[in-house]
Amino acid sequence: MVKGSQDTAKDIYQRLLDDISLSYEAGDFDAFTTYFDLPHTTYTFEKSYTIKTLSDLRSVFDNMRAQFSGLGVTNYIRVCLTAEYLSPSVIRGTHVTHVTKDGHHLEEPYPVMSHLNFTEGLWKVAQSENAVEDTKIFGMAVRQGLNPTIPARLSKSGPTGEKND
């Protein structure tokens, strides 16, 4: 739903986070693919990666699931903090990611800022800036499946620049 519907930007953003988490849990790659606008750029502190193809996306999906399985992850929870419409078909939001095993954090929760695009009748993640090192669960999953495409633009104090459209 584009801006003007009953759903707030925060509702849309949180629902997308929840749906992505459920697709990881269920091992449902087909559902997972519907939540990403390709090419999708993701940033960590060290590097930037572009997911260009479904094969790239599959690699990240499989690597995340392998990380979760190997570490015994019982919950992958992302909580939306803010979300706003930048235009009727673009939402920018922030959330915190928690990775836990039996109620205990496996790593420090970390913030993420994402841009969502309304395309093909669905809200999809187009870009994510993850305030996390490549040695953490998410960073390792992306690093193992993709080659960095451009230098990182995040610093440990936050983003060092805005998206240039």
Q: Is residue 39 in some structural domain?
A: yes
Taking the C-alpha atoms of residue 74 and residue 25, their distance in angstroms, rounded to an integer, is 9
Residue 142: CATH number of its domain: 3.10.450.50
Cα separations in angstroms, 60 against 40, 86, 117, 119, 147: 12, 28, 20, 22, 11
Q: Among 15-24, 130-139, 143-152, where is mean pLDDT lowest? A: 143-152
Give the Cβ contact number of residue 57 at 10 Å. Answer: 20
Range of the domain at 105: 9-146
Residue 94 has pLDDT above 50, yes or no: yes
What is the count of structural domains for the chain?
1
Residue 147: what pLDDT? 55
Residue 1 lies in a domain: no
Q: Given pLDDT bands bounded at 50, 70 and 90, which one contains residue 5?
A: low
The pLDDT > 70 percentage for the chain reads 79
| Residue 146 dihedral angles phi and psi, to the nearest 5° | -135, 155
Instruction: Look at the block and give the residue holding tokens 């093909």.
Output: 120
pLDDT of residue 136: 72
Q: pLDDT digits over 98-142, tens only?
A: 999 999 999 999 999 999 999 999 999 999 998 887 767 776 777
Does 54 fall in a domain?
yes
pLDDT at 137: 72
Within a domain: 109: yes
Q: What's the whole-number mean pLDDT along residues 3-31?
A: 91
Neighbours of 154 (CB within 10 A): 20
Query: Is 99 part of any domain?
Result: yes
In a domain, 165, yes or no: no
CA distance 159 to 73: 28
pTM metric for this prediction: 0.82
Residue 164 lies in a domain: no
Q: Which residues of 4-38 are buried (b: 16+ CB within 10 A; e: fewer)?
A: eeeeebbebbbebbeebeebbeeeeeeebeebbbe
Residue 101 CB neighbours (<10 A): 13
Q: Kindly state whether residue 155 falls inside one of the protein's structural domains.
A: no
